[in-house]
Chains A and B, each alone.
Chain A
Amino acid sequence: MLFDSEKPTIGIEYADGETILREGEIGDHLYVILEGRVEVVVDDGGERPFQLAILEKDGFFGEMSLFSDLPRVASVRALGPVRLMTLDKRGLLRWLADDPSLSLRIMLKMVERVRLLVSEVVHLRKLLRDNRLL
Chain B
Amino acid sequence: MELTSGARVAVVGGGPSGSLSAYFLLDLARQTGITLQLDLFEPRDFTQTGPPGCNMCGGVISESLMQKMAAEGIVLPKELLLDAIDSYVLHTDSGAATIHPFHAEMRIASIFRGAGPLGAESQHPLPWSSFDQHLLEMARQSGANVLRRRVRHLDRTPEGHPRVFLHPAKGDSSDSTEPFGTYDLLIGCVGLNGSGVRMFEEMRFGYRPPRNDRAWVGELYMGAKEVHRRLGHAMHIFLLDIPGMKFAAMTPKGHYATFIILGHGVNEEVVKRVFQSPRVRSLFPEGWETPVRPCHCQPRINLGPPVNPFADRVVLVGDCATSRLYKDGIGAAYRMAKACAFTAITRGISAQAFREGYWPVCRQMDRDNALGHLLFSMDGIMRYFSPLRRAMITVIREEQSRPQDPRRLSSAMWDTFTGSAPYRQIFQQAFHPVILWRLFVAMLRALVPGQQTDAIVSTTIRE
Interface of A toward B, CB cutoff 8 Å? 3-4, 7-12, 30, 32, 34-35, 57-58, 60, 85-87, 91-92, 95, 98-99, 101-102, 104-106
Docked Cα-Cα span, A95 to B422, in Å, equals 11
Q: Would you call A9 and B84 a contact (CB within 8 A)?
A: yes
In the assembled complex, the CB of B411 is this many whole angstroms from the nearest CB of chain A, namely 13
Q: A29 to nearest B CB, angstroms?
A: 10
Question: Nearest chain B CB to A50's CB is how many angstroms away?
Answer: 28
Task: Name the A residues within 8 Å of B364 (CB-CB).
Answer: 98
Number of A-B residue pairs with CB-CB distance less than 8 Å in the complex they form = 76
Q: Is the CB of A11 within 8 A of B78?
A: no
- How many Å lie between the Cα of A30 and that of B76 in the bound state? 18
Asked whether A60 lies within 8 Å of B106 as measured between CB atoms, the reply is: no
| Extra inter-chain contacts (19) besides given A10-B81, A32-B70, A102-B72, CB under 8 Å | A7-B81, A8-B82, A8-B106, A10-B76, A10-B84, A10-B107, A11-B105, A12-B106, A32-B71, A32-B75, A34-B75, A35-B78, A87-B71, A98-B364, A99-B338, A99-B339, A101-B28, A102-B68, A105-B72
Q: Which residues of B contact A7 (CB under 8 A)?
A: 78, 81
Count, chain B residues at interface, CB 8 A: 30
A10 to B111, alpha carbons, bound, how many Å?
12
A87-B73 in contact (CB<8A):
no
**How far does the alpha carbon of A60 sit from the alpha carbon of B78 in the complex, in Å?**
19
Most chain B CB within 10 A, of A4, A7, A10, is at A10
List of B residues within 8 angstroms of A30 by Cβ: 71
Find out whether the CB atom of B107 lies under 8 angstroms from the CB atom of A11.
Answer: yes
Verify A95–B64 contact, CB threshold 8 A: yes
A12 near B78 with CB under 8 A, answer no
Let me know if B4 is at the binding interface, CB within 8 A. no
What 3 pairs between A and B have smallest CB-CB spacing?
A8-B84, A32-B70, A85-B70
Which B residues are in CB contact (< 8 Å) with A85? 66-67, 70, 105, 107
Which residues of B approach A to under 8 Å, CB–CB? 24, 28, 31, 64, 66-68, 70-73, 75-76, 78, 81-84, 103-107, 109, 233, 335, 338-339, 342, 364
Contact for B75 among A3, A58, A101, CB less than 8 A: A58
On whether the beta carbons of B335 and A99 are closer than 8 Å, the reply is yes
Closest to A96 in B: B71
Contact of A12 with B70 in the complex, beta carbons under 8 Å = no
Interface residues of A, dominant DSSP: mixed
How far is it, in angstroms, between the C-alpha of A32 and the C-alpha of B70 when the chains are bound?
Answer: 6
Which residues of B lie under 8 Å from residue A32 when comparing CB positions?
70-71, 75
Complex formed: what's the CA distance from A30 to B105 in Å?
A: 14
Query: Can you report 5 A-B residue pairs in the complex whose CB atoms are below 8 A from each other?
Result: A4-B78, A32-B75, A57-B75, A58-B75, A95-B64
List chain B residues, Cβ under 8 A from A34.
70, 75
Query: For residue B84, which residues in chain A have a CB less than 8 angstroms away from its CB?
Result: 8-10
Residues of chain A with a CB closer than 8 A to B78's CB: 3-4, 7, 9, 35
**Closest chain A residue to B252, Cβ basis:** A8
Complex formed: what's the CA distance from A101 to B32 in Å? Answer: 13
Contacting residues, chain A, for B28 (C-beta < 8 A)? 101
> Provided the pairs A98-B335, A99-B335 are in contact, do residues A9 and B106 lie with their beta carbons within 8 angstroms?
yes
A104 to B86, CA, bound (A): 31
A85 to B342, CA, bound (A): 26
A57 partner residues in chain B, CB cutoff 8 A: 75
A9 vs B107: C-alpha distance in the bound complex, in angstroms?
A: 9
A133 to B64, CA, bound (A): 52
CB-defined contacts of A92 to chain B, threshold 8 Å:
71
Which A residues lie within 8 Å of B72 (CB)? Answer: 102, 105
